[in-house]
Amino acid sequence: MRVSLRGMHRIVGLTSALFGITLAVTGIVLSFDPVTEAATTGTLTAAPEVTVAKLAQAVNDQVPGLERIEKTANHSVIAHYATEDGFGQVYFDAQTLAPKTASPISPVLGYIKDFHRSLFLGDFGRGVVGITAFAMLVLSVSGVAMIISKMGGWRALISPPKSGRLQALHLNAGRLAVAGLLILSFTGVLLSLVTFDLVPSPASDDPGFPVILAGDPPLQISELPALKSLKLSELRELVLPYPGDAADAYSLTTSQGSGYINPVTGQLVNWSIHGPSSQLYEIIFLIHTGQGAWPVGLLMGLSMLAVPFVIVSGVAMALRRLANPLRQFKNTPARVADTVVLVGSESATTWGFAAELARKLVAAGHKVHIAEMNKRAAEYPSGKFIFLITATYGMGEAPTNARHFLKRLNTFRLNHMRYSVLGFGDTSFPDFCKFAMDVDAAMLKTGMKRFHPFATIDRQSAQSFSSWGRAVGKSLGLGLSLEHSPERPKTTQVQLVSKRSYGQEVQAPVAILRLGTKSARTLPKHSAGDLLGVVAPGSSFPRYYSLASDGRDGCIEICVRKQPGGVCSGFLTDIAVGDSVDVFVKPNPKFRPSNSETPLILVGAGAGIGPLVGFLRANLQKRPAYLFWGGRDPSSDFLFREELGDLHTGGQITQITTAFSRTAGGGYVQSKLQCASRELQNLVQSGAQIVVCGGRAMGNDVQTTFNDLLLPIGLDVATLKQQGRYLEDVY
């Protein structure tokens, strides 16, 4: 199988992500090493001026058992000594020629350096690091190649991208990082190859030890001509002869070469100049580490700051792609497609149905182009059929990725194409498939003809999708067998812990259910306001209930109103304590009060009290909270009555206003809101947030009421919704 550039980039990226981040982060820390060392040695701007003869003499006078003087690339002078009493290192100040009290090189950095090079795993770790460096090199090169080929030309490397947020982050951070990453990964690979002797080690030009004829007494270090003419900045290492061994010599390494000094004559002997390969190695080492050139180090470190962002966004993109139903589908370009499938939905389920259709049409010989409805081309020159597959949002509104479809329809060149609309929806909601109907009507109005009648799929039914497929196949003159069943989320089995029933007497049976698992650890994580999906036995799709509990409460709590003929609500209100239920949590982050001090207005009716109670329990900072709730009869369906009293006493509720429709002089919660108009106006003006939960009809009425009472202060629900101050969960 041929692997595309993108596929290779993705596989290499996923496998190397963890180590890549590790190397980038430790590398960033290490990039500060040269500049801090140069700052402590006072050589940020200029190298030390002293001669090696003078410095070495001073060090030798002060360090008993001196064996070796090392000078680092950032001009730290380190005297290595060993006597029978001990061994170690002394740092010297090149200006004052006096020992330093503190080591300028942090031991922590030493550990980080070891980790960066070998992950504390010896040669195995070094191998992993080398392979990771190679992976980073491959990713940089393939990344640049993709940008250039995809976006056309080198200019793409600097111009901003236009696509989705993750991809934009990946591309932008990638642009910032790629130059540094190319350099660091390339030099890193080379250093690794040298470590493993896979390229010849450059430091092998050993000149050989000279024969020293012991004759006259040796010279003082300060009198050695070879050292008198050598500046400290050029020194790498000076090893002293072993005391009392007249045949031993100084061995010297400088930036130019290495060799020996005859201790009697003080002249260089067997001197060899660094060859081109060792010079090349030093340049590579300098670029990779910044040692001896701190601005290089800082620059490299700076460019690595973007690398964690590149890697994390890349991994997120790859994972998201795994969840994409179109992963295996090879899209035909719009120009040459004979069949176009436009999808209006952001749910993976609808896309899953659309992808199944596209795949089977391709198998039947069609050239299929699939895209979001917003991305409809101006024309499809080879197009014959156009499928419009769309869900409906809210109250008959367009899904986000189909929002521009209708208003841009007048720019569409029809080219004798024919169309068919398939709507996805839920018949238990009003405005069932309304947007799909609008699309169908609008298409008809353009003058385009249908090739297959308008159809709808209720609650993601695999059966009706399949039979629609057979019918469409007939219209197109081919056998079309569509098989797609939406994947059910992973469920957890929980047991009913307690059930409190209300409202039997007022013909509105409702129950507060508590569900739990044996161990709190296995309880699905959730917050009040999230949705609990319940799959009743024999039902193919879940029903959702707003959660009153928080994961920390140790149980799951929901309010369930028994719907006449409702499969799931009937099941839930009938089960006994100890019975098992399959559930999963669907996060609902948009329905959650903001984390502020402004007042909270909570409005609910019936079982809609559930999440509101949850929000009030969580109101530990005691922001002003006003609860408006409507039931039927306080003696029968006053849910959470005691607990609301406790919360009021505890200060988590400022005020409770109830409305009971079956009592004398009673009414609905909307009328209570009207009564409190003045107060509510003040609260909204002071920044209050409104949270509504209950049946759809109540939700609509509450909106109307708020629109009326907010009119005098120049506000409306739409504005508040935009500001995130009107949250709704209606069903």
Q: Which residues would be at the binding site for other proteins (CB under 8 A)?
A: 65, 67-68, 80, 82-84, 87, 89, 110, 197, 201, 206, 208-209, 239, 242, 245, 247, 251
Nearest CA-CA partner of 553 in 617, 501, 622: 617
Q: Which is nearer to other proteins, 114 or 223 (CB)?
A: 114
Shortest Å distance, C-beta 122 to other proteins: 8
Shortest Å distance, C-beta 94 to other proteins: 20
Q: Which is nearer to other proteins, 208 or 587 (CB)?
A: 208
Shortest Å distance, C-beta 200 to other proteins: 11
Shortest Å distance, C-beta 25 to other proteins: 22
Shortest Å distance, C-beta 260 to other proteins: 10
Q: Which is nearer to other proteins, 88 or 554 (CB)?
A: 88
Q: Which is nearer to other proteins, 87 or 124 (CB)?
A: 87
Place of tokens 């609910």: 604
Residue 418 CB neighbours (<10 A): 16
Shortest Å distance, C-beta 149 to other proteins: 43
Shortest Å distance, C-beta 242 to other proteins: 6
Q: Which is nearer to other proteins, 249 or 448 (CB)?
A: 249
Angle subtended by helix axes 5-30 and 107-118, to nearest 10: 160
Residue 37 CB neighbours (<10 A): 24
The residue type of 7 is G
CA 161 to CA 183: how far, in whole Å? 24
Place of tokens 């259709």: 357
- 477-to-182, 327, 368 alpha-carbon distances in Å: 55, 28, 16
Angle subtended by helix axes 122-151 and 5-30, to nearest 10: 120
Q: Are strands 625-631 and 600-605 parallel, antiparallel or unpaired?
A: parallel
Ordered DSSP codes for 32-53: THHHHHHHHTT-SSS----BHH
Q: Which is nearer to other proteins, 197 or 642 (CB)?
A: 197
For 112, the 3-state DSSP assignment is: helix
Q: Which is nearer to other proteins, 114 or 643 (CB)?
A: 114
CA 599 to CA 689: how far, in whole Å? 6
For 709, the 3-state DSSP assignment is: helix
* CA–centroid distance for 662 within its chain: 52
Residue 413 CB neighbours (<10 A): 11
Shortest Å distance, C-beta 596 to other proteins: 53
Shortest Å distance, C-beta 209 to other proteins: 5
Kind and range of the H or E run holding 563: none
Contact criterion met (CB below 8 Å) for 231 and 52: yes
Q: Which is nearer to other proteins, 87 or 154 (CB)?
A: 87
Contact criterion met (CB below 8 Å) for 207 and 260: yes
Q: Which is nearer to other proteins, 89 or 719 (CB)?
A: 89
